Structure 1
């Protein structure tokens, strides 16, 4: 057991690039982690890490050992999940990453309800906009929206997500409604993290570059700016649903709405898919439908 504990400590230190964060992740003291690493290096007769007061580096031997240990720990987790799944009950820790307002509004409540129905489960919900490496960072699944990149991960569609281009009635009365996507060059387009919007031409989806005097990486901020008559905006429908119902925003260019903007549950291609992942993904698909 002490050997596995030391290996787990080493993998966590390399992953976090910090003894302190590794200790926090493992729920032990920093000195305990340091002792585990020292004992591991002594047993292997090899230096795995180079430590100074200000930096931490992995040696060449340490990097090779880290990659092997990652695979070993993943196999151990699969073995534990296989035993837990004999009862077909979601148990253990379910660690997932989600992004933005969709996660706040839909995934978090669904996860809370699922956990209340399965008291043997612990859930860790990480809100993060970056593209997380699920395997390297130890996540069970991610909830991602839009067009997925090719990968070795498994993706299951859990619900549709519609992209909406809209503006306030006052803005449209002043500048006119764009008749097609080419007319967007004559409009102030409120942009997010990317300065591209997605549209459809027949069966083909494509991106175009837009420009404007308002930029924000927050969907609600963009929706508020559009409602304040500042310009056109393209957002997932859940950001602007209430404003559209209230009439403070109005959709435009509806024939050009893209068709590949679903929400997906993405998880590693493990030899054994744990009950906690399988059942939670099915639950999401049911409640979000």
Structure 2
């Protein structure tokens, strides 16, 4: 009789509250469970359980021993599951939330390549702009940008996110260029979902509250407004890079671009990350290392 079996029996009895329920769970006899608990207590020379005709409870030393036993079993299960994953091809449905241009132009093509590499994977991708509840709505991964709010989710940085401020030459002809971030209040700032822009000043990051005559939760709409000379915009570089290269937009305040933002894959916390999620996140990191 192995030590693993005695520990498994002990944890099952505590979690199920009786020898008979533990036996049912482990598909063994009640007497078998009783022998395992007795062997564990004899080997350790301690009493782990208080036994009465109606109630089974942990002794003081049993209470201190139980969490360690549960952790040991969980680690063993994780190791077995990871080994099985290595021998199997990833399969099943992968539900992803990835809004905005980055989701459309980067995540979606990467997901297609991932499916071609692993044909037993199915993808369901949602492009809603709202921040989904990953756990309650059943998503495996959500792609999020910028600074993350505190949560129980695990986050892994998958790509850089360089924010730039720019406008069209015709806007600068009319209004001039801001010479520091605090003169932006004198300019028409085209705003997204937030009412602030992020900057770096004197080795620290600050958020400036700004306003303008145009606001939209769509990055492309902000780009079009900037191209028409309506005002300044702060957006990730990938939104405006081709227009910068064509001279249709010009950046300003480059020394104040923030350096603390990124693009992240967030997923529910778990002891063992499923193979399909782990492989997809690694795939994104590899793909976006070229950005």
TM (norm. structure 2) is 0.69
Mark the CA change 1:86 to 1:285 in structure 2 (over 3 Å): closer, same or farther: closer
Is the partner of 2:136 in helix, strand or coil? helix
Mind listing any 5+ residue stretches in structure 2 that lack a counterpart? 1-77
**Match status 1:135 vs 2:152:** no
Distance 1:82 1:96 in 2: 22
Distance 1:115 1:241 in 2: 29
Is the partner of 1:89 in helix, strand or coil? coil
CA deviations over 1:34-56 (Å, ceiling 9, x no partner) = xxxxxxxxxxxxxxxxxxxxxxx
CA deviations over 1:3-22 (Å, ceiling 9, x no partner) = xxxxxxxxxxxxxxxxxxxx
**Match status 1:242 vs 2:242:** yes
* 1:204-243 correspondence runs (5 A): 204-243=204-243
Distance 1:217 1:189 in 2: 14
| Equivalent in the alignment of 2:256 | 256
**Match status 1:156 vs 2:156:** yes
**Match status 1:171 vs 2:171:** yes
Distance 1:284 1:266 in 2: 12
* 1:1-289 correspondence runs (5 A): 85-289=85-289
Give 1:84 shift: 6.7
| Equivalent in the alignment of 2:61 | none
Distance 2:100 2:194 in 1: 15
Distance 2:182 2:86 in 1: 58
CA deviations over 1:149-191 (Å, ceiling 9, x no partner) = 1122111111101111000111112211101111111111111
CA deviations over 1:39-76 (Å, ceiling 9, x no partner) = xxxxxxxxxxxxxxxxxxxxxxxxxxxxxxxxxxxxxx
| Equivalent in the alignment of 1:46 | none
Give 1:211 shift: 1.1
Tell me which structure has the larger Cα radius of gyration: 2
| Aligned residues of 1:84 and 1:91 also touching (Cα < 8 A) | no
Is the partner of 1:134 in helix, strand or coil? coil
Q: How many residues are paired up?
A: 210
Distance 2:84 2:249 in 1: 50
Distance 1:90 1:250 in 2: 45
| Aligned residues of 1:188 and 1:230 also touching (Cα < 8 A) | yes
Give 1:89 shift: 2.4
CA deviations over 1:203-248 (Å, ceiling 9, x no partner) = 3212111111111111111111111111111111111011001000
Mind listing any 5+ residue stretches in structure 1 that lack a counterpart? 1-77
Is the partner of 1:119 in helix, strand or coil? coil
Mark the CA change 1:92 to 1:83 in structure 2 (over 3 Å): closer, same or farther: farther
Give 1:202 shift: 2.8
TM (norm. structure 1) is 0.70
Distance 1:248 1:208 in 2: 26
Mark the CA change 1:287 to 1:86 in structure 2 (over 3 Å): closer, same or farther: closer
Give 1:86 shift: 4.7
| Aligned residues of 1:147 and 1:260 also touching (Cα < 8 A) | yes
Distance 2:83 2:270 in 1: 15
